[in-house]
Chains A and B, each alone.
Chain A
Amino acid sequence: MDSHAVATGALYGYRNQKSSSTNNFFESSVTLETFLFYTLGAVSVGSALMMVTRRSPVMSALYLILNFFALGGLYLSLHAQFIAFIQILVYAGAIMVLFVFVIMLLNLGDEKKLNERFSWKKIVGAGLSFGVLMELIFVFAFSKANLPPSHFEKATDIGTVENIGMQLFTTFLFPFEVTSVLLLAAIVGAVVLAKKKLN
């Protein structure tokens, strides 16, 4: 999901950048950004494909980490520095650690047992996914985005920590407080589900 949303945004961002660059000073940064976009996009899609096709769950987890790094790079190219670093810190740092712990917890032993036979469900699933992919490509290729005028002088400022902080604690104050209740519910839920004997 993330990669598609990022791809959309990157495509729009790229288009806007291209239309606004009029002098040669920006030429080099456009080339760098397009190069980065294609490389990181290829890495993220490739690592995602590798992740779903590996037989060993640990290899899948490692490819997922690579995917997260590539997504972090894509966020950087979209001027969302804070999100990029949080992606690495939280996703690749904390959540993937949890994944690896769970894989070790399950102790699957002989990975040959995970061998699945050929089934029609896979064909139908692949066909449906392909259909959705075609539809989404059509949507992105043929629709134009009406982006509003930006609040900031430079578009590179939208992702800085200060600006995110200002927006988070003024416009989005209420969702922020709801998030605290959500985290508290998650803490209670985690302890209920994971502890064998509660004191």
Chain B
Amino acid sequence: MLESYVPIFVMIAGGVIFGVVMVKLNEWFGPHRPNDEKLSTYESGMEPIRSARERFSVKFYMVAMLFILFDIEVVFLYPWAVSFKQLGLGGFVTMAVFIFVLFLGYFYVWRKGALEWD
């Protein structure tokens, strides 16, 4: 049964090896003559003023958190969708309750402004 997954592993291995080989070939066979000018940060000709790390906005974190929670909801939707026919009306009602509770969560997040981008 596991034999059917071998093509996936081969593809992953191929991708990794390809990427690593490209970088390493460049490193080994390309010319390597660094000087100060070449190693400094590129800012379209201007001098860099301060560190490139800006203050990170928390809205990214908010989006990632909410993404995880709704992703888990989707994870439960997959097996339900596959066995939907066999579960009948009862299965539909239980999933409807689940989605309704999480829809409340979505409604709450929307009205509280957690989805605002600024």
- Residues of A whose CB lies within 8 Å of any CB of B are 29, 32-33, 36, 73, 76-77, 79, 82, 86, 89-90, 93-95, 97-98, 101-102, 104-105, 107, 109, 156, 161-162, 164-166, 168-170, 173, 176-177, 179-181, 183-184, 186-188, 190-191, 194-196, 198-199
Contact = CB atoms under 8 A, between A and B. Distances in A.
B29 interface: no
A169 B104 CA distance: 22
A29 B1 contact: yes
A164 B58 CA distance: 37
A90 B72 contact: yes
A78 to B, nearest CB: 10
A179 B112 contact: no
Nearest to A197: B113
A187 B109 contact: yes
Nearest to A69: B12
Interface of B: 1-3, 5, 9, 51, 53, 55-56, 58, 60-62, 64-69, 71-73, 75-76, 78-80, 82-83, 86-87, 90-91, 94-95, 97-98, 101-102, 104-105, 108-109, 111-114
Given A29-B1, A98-B61, A199-B113, A161 B72 contact: no
Contacts of A76: 2, 5
Given A79-B1, A107-B56, A187 B98 contact: no
Contacts of B64: 94, 97-98, 101
B75 A199 contact: no
A32 B3 contact: yes
Q: What is the predominant secondary structure among interface residues of chain A facing chain B?
A: helix
Q: What is the predominant secondary structure among interface residues of chain B facing chain A?
A: helix
Nearest to A188: B108
B9 to A, nearest CB: 8
A94 B71 contact: yes
A179 B77 CA distance: 13
Given A97-B64, A98-B61, A187-B105, 16 more contacts: A76-B2, A82-B78, A90-B75, A98-B64, A101-B56, A102-B61, A162-B83, A165-B80, A165-B87, A166-B86, A169-B95, A176-B94, A183-B105, A188-B108, A194-B58, A195-B113
A195 B69 contact: no
A105 B61 contact: yes
B68 A95 contact: yes
Contacts of B80: 165, 168-169
Contacts of B112: 191, 195, 198-199
A86 B80 CA distance: 14
